[in-house]
Amino acid sequence: MVELVLIEEDVRGKDAGEGERMSRKYSATEVSEHNSAEDCWLIIQGKVYDVTKYLDDHPGGDQILIAAAGEDATDEFDEAGHSEDARKMMDKYLIGQVDEPSTSSISNSSSLFLYKTLPVVASVLVLSVVVGTVLWRRKRTA
């Protein structure tokens, strides 16, 4: 019985149109269970991809995909600068969509925001201290 289910999923993934595949919804928790080299699913832009069979062919190496397995990899995918051909190739591995917002993408966005803004805030703070010290010394000597 288990083999039959796996075969049906493989056939649906290869032969079904995007509309039919997109009708299958997965929770982020369900996707998170597929987090190994033997069973590697990714969430990219709210869509769920089973990239297990693509691991050996990925130009950046299988470890990049395995590291993101079971998670929302939208930011990583977008930052990698994939070509249009690579984006079209993804259709082959599309198996559905996420039925709820991914908390990992929200936390990744928050972390990324802090990571990018923290150096700017620190620089402004240091500059303010330096300028304040210089002005204070000038006022004190005058």
The type of residue at 121 is: V
Q: What is the pLDDT of residues 39-97, one digit of tens each?
A: 999 999 999 999 999 999 999 899 999 999 999 999 999 888 888 998 899 999 999 99
Tallying the residues shown for the chain, one arrives at 142
What is the spatial distance between Cα 119 and Cα 123, in angstroms, rounded to a whole number?
6
Are residues 51 and 40 in contact, defined by beta-carbon separation less than 8 angstroms? yes
Residue 10 pLDDT grade (very low, low, confident, very high; cuts 50, 70, 90): very low
* pTM of the model as a whole: 0.59
